[in-house]
Structure 1
Amino acid sequence: MKVRKVSSKFVKPLFEGDPPSSLNSGYCIPLSVFDKAAFNNHMAGIYAYRPPIPPNATIELGLRKALSEYREWAGRLGEDESGDPVILLNDAGVYFVEASADCTLHQAMPLSPSPALLSLHPSLKGAEALVQVQLTRFTCGSLALGFTAHHLVADGHSASNFLVAWGQACRGLEISPRPMHNRAIFVPRDPPLIQFEHRGVEYMHKNPNQVNPHPPFEITPAADDILVHKAHFTSEFLVKLKATASSENADNRPPYSTFESLIAHLWRAITRARGLKGLETVTKIRISVDGRSRLRPRIPNEYFGNLVLWAFPSAKVKDLLDEPLAFAARIIHQAIAEVNDSYFKSFIDFANYRVKEEGLVQTAEMEKSFHCPNLEVDSWLRIPFHKLDFGGSCIPYIFMPSYFPIEGLIFLLPSFIGDGSIDAFISLFQDNLDAFKRLCYSLDI
């Protein structure tokens, strides 16, 4: 597949009536404590549409209308007079690329996790725009939409709200619900109540060796040593997996969720495939936890920004592999449950009173090439990315992450089959992939 760039430009918001008075006044929005702790990079996803598809001009017009409600995406990152990070609402625009491919989409399908995906969206390196869009037309009339968004501005939930609004604008509908833009709602308590340890969790010293002077693994893999594999888990397999994980629940406790059961299974399968059996080392998982439903009072779903912290279930490799699946599921369940209202409020106090004073930096970063012996899970199971509807029959029949060859990184998405099955995009060292393929569909690991 060869992709040729036809045109590129910056697309700016289209306002009804006069533009906001703050357009040229240097108006900015300070990043919240959750924004500052987020990944400082772009995330990218790929959509695929079959014809008939509206012309690019219609999709661009809808984008401009949506940006009038989500002006942050058309701005730029900067600093205020105190050197604190802010979003400059200067309406500099979204980077918008039109491109063409030299084949049909069917010939490029299935869109497998490979470097070829990188040609379907603008480069993530050195991107100044906070959102980038690429529309690639195939010879059959199909469309691939590559979308990238800067994570410091918003989390996946907020990004999906914007995408839904973009589709509504393309269909001539009123954008609903409208975003909630107030990032100043996370006020620290006076006096602060820091009940939990956040150093080494969300934040760390600039030199991590101050905390861990002897990392357990010294691996310097080449980029081509890491492959991204797509594993499809049927609804039937997931039902059996959930039953197995919950089989040892006592006292009428509810069964573990499908998510908890699947992550427990993948944790064990990947650990065994890595050949870590018998090691006393500790393996852990970073799992995103949305704070909208956990904070009290509850934060509305239309809040625009980052509102995510992480659970870090951990276990010794030996225990993880010697104990049954229920052992891993229980650890995951407990770790997620502990990221509750008290934990989120403790983080707000810590981030306001300790981070700058101690010169700490966030632990969330995408520059590393591997996580072994750990995992990083990015779940999109409850995020409605699939609702980017441009009108008529133009609804996506594929949505997937771009190509991120970071060993130990997992993306979970609902399958577009629509039957409750799940697709997992898993990055592993090439030497471990065959073993993982043999293990991943077995209930007896």
Structure 2
Amino acid sequence: MNSGDFPVTIKRREVVAAALPVQDHWLPMSNLDLLLPPLHFGIFFCYKNVERGSPENMAAVLKKSLAQALVYFSPLAGEIVANGQGEPEILCNNRGVDFTCACAGVELRDIDLYRPDLSVHGKLVPVLVHGLLSVQVTDLKCGGVFIGCTFDHRAADAHSANMFLTAWADIARSNPIKLLPSFRRSLFNPRRPPQPHASLDKLYAPLLQPPSDDGPDRLTSRIYYIRSDEIERLQSQSSRNGTRKSKLESFTAFLWQTLASAADRSKTVKLGVVVDGRARLSNDETTSLESYFGNVLSVPYVEASAGELQSTLLNVVADMVSACIASASSAEHFLALIDWVEVRRPKAAVVKVYCKEERDEAAVVVSSGQRFPVQMLDFGWGGPDFGSYHFPWGGETGYVMPMPAPHGNGDWIVYMHLKERHLNLVEARAPHVFKPLSPHYLKF
């Protein structure tokens, strides 16, 4: 029986600092970092039937390699402190990373990964209390291991976290790091004079107060899997006139339309899509941003009435999604966004789709996790049998992230953080697409 009701015993709490001395220094946030409010996101991965040494030896390997990885990723061993203008900056003081060793009286197959808020959050994925990163390693009754990490989003996006985790695993196996991180904030200096676009006023807004998720209709998390043939079917239905939509565009259009399917036709459904600017800003004349550690994101959004989405063909809805993504897919968009932040500093701002309005039936942000390197997270005892992001980010705007399934067969794992009635809606309207994650599917 899947459960979130199981005991977790803390064996010890430690702080892991970089293995080599790091001279204290300040690392400013880039203008793109400053668009992130204080949000934390989790990543977890689990291994069943680990047969390499005792739990104590495994923890020792993870701690030693973490300390070595922090030499290269030293900001993650620091903390965020407000500067004289009240803006956050990273103090690289090597305070270290909170590292917890625990054991759980449950087998991997009995952890309810379908409902991670109950089974994972705060139990197997730690709550970040101090610093920029927290790690928990939990031994399971079956001999498996569960590793949970929580990052401060103001310092790292998913691309950066993936870079760090891959480097950590490489070091644990005594392999060279594939990609050394760059912290060159000068890559995101504003233009002189700044040239912001007025259109960005429609995408971003002043952050008046941190969003709250304490309302009666608060969001909750569930994890699904989608079979590859269903993804391809959605892609086929979303494409027309010889133009093939991407799988992410097709899935996003279907989700947007499904959320509107049972709503009052006059209500609005907002859809935001996370766009990574690294490829857009990189060119032959500048350093590639593939190794840049920090946030290089924009979140354009589009809105439509529920009635419009209900009466529109999926391929037309997919065109709307494509146009939304295209609006933020140029270097000029990101340069203008950097400038837009610059002329408003030190006033904080946030993506406007995060500010849900009364007339909204729903607002949701979709972010691609297709580059999640789950099979590369081998610390010396093989790759994970499962891994996922966990991002219960607060507020009233939903968050959805599709990732590759661990089987490598083209299936997707989809983390969804929505209102319960909307989760129930997508399950009822599209049970052939959204299938609750189960031990049977994961072969636990």
Q: Counterparts of 1:288-307 in structure 2 under 5 Å?
A: 288-297=274-283, 299-307=288-296
Provide the C-alpha distance between the structure 1 equivalents of 2:85 and 2:124, rounded to a whole number of angstroms.
39
Deviations 1:342-393 (A, max 9, x none): 111111111112343xx343237989899842112232112324421102x4
TM-score calculated relative to the size of structure 2: 0.86
The match for 1:397 is 385
Q: Residues 83 and 375 (structure 1 numbering): CA distance in 2 closer, same or farther, change over 3 Å? A: closer
Would the aligned equivalents of 1:202 and 1:309 in 2 still touch at CA under 8 Å?
A: no
Which of 321, 340, 355 lines up with 1:350 in the alignment?
A: 340
The match for 1:415 is 405
The match for 1:101 is 104
Provide the C-alpha distance between the structure 1 equivalents of 2:413 and 2:151, rounded to a whole number of angstroms.
22
What letter is aligned with 1:351? V
Q: Residues 122 and 114 (structure 1 numbering): CA distance in 2 closer, same or farther, change over 3 Å? A: closer
CA apart distance, 1:185 = 1.5
* Unmatched runs of 5 consecutive residues or more in structure 2: 1-5, 434-444
What letter is aligned with 1:52? E
> Is the partner of 1:293 in helix, strand or coil?
helix
The match for 1:11 is 16
Would the aligned equivalents of 2:263 and 2:361 in 1 still touch at CA under 8 Å?
A: no
Structure 2 residue 64 is matched with structure 1 residue 64: no
Would the aligned equivalents of 1:30 and 1:84 in 2 still touch at CA under 8 Å?
A: no
CA apart distance, 1:191 = 2.5
Would the aligned equivalents of 1:76 and 1:130 in 2 still touch at CA under 8 Å?
A: yes
Bigger drift between 181-190 and 406-415 goes to: 406-415
Q: Counterparts of 1:316-355 in structure 2 under 5 Å?
A: 316-339=305-328, 340-355=330-345
> Is the partner of 1:379 in helix, strand or coil?
coil
Structure 2 residue 350 is matched with structure 1 residue 377: no
Which of 193, 200, 203 lines up with 1:201 in the alignment?
A: 203
What letter is aligned with 2:278? R
Provide the C-alpha distance between the structure 2 equivalents of 1:90 and 1:123, rounded to a whole number of angstroms.
21
CA apart distance, 1:52 = 2.1
* Unmatched runs of 5 consecutive residues or more in structure 1: 209-218
Provide the C-alpha distance between the structure 2 equivalents of 1:353 and 1:244, rounded to a whole number of angstroms.
43
> Is the partner of 1:401 in helix, strand or coil?
strand
The match for 2:36 is 38
Provide the C-alpha distance between the structure 1 equivalents of 2:92 and 2:268, rounded to a whole number of angstroms.
44
The match for 1:215 is none
CA apart distance, 1:152 = 0.6
The match for 2:427 is 437
CA apart distance, 1:115 = 1.4
TM-score calculated relative to the size of structure 1: 0.85
CA apart distance, 1:418 = 1.3
> Is the partner of 1:185 in helix, strand or coil?
helix
Structure 2 residue 263 is matched with structure 1 residue 276: yes
Aligned-residue Cα RMSD (Å) equals 2.7
> How many corresponding residue pairs?
412
Deviations 1:224-257 (A, max 9, x none): xx543333211111111111110xx33x4x3110
Which of 216, 223, 226 lines up with 1:221 in the alignment?
A: 216
The match for 2:439 is none
CA apart distance, 1:28 = 0.5
Would the aligned equivalents of 2:268 and 2:361 in 1 still touch at CA under 8 Å?
A: no
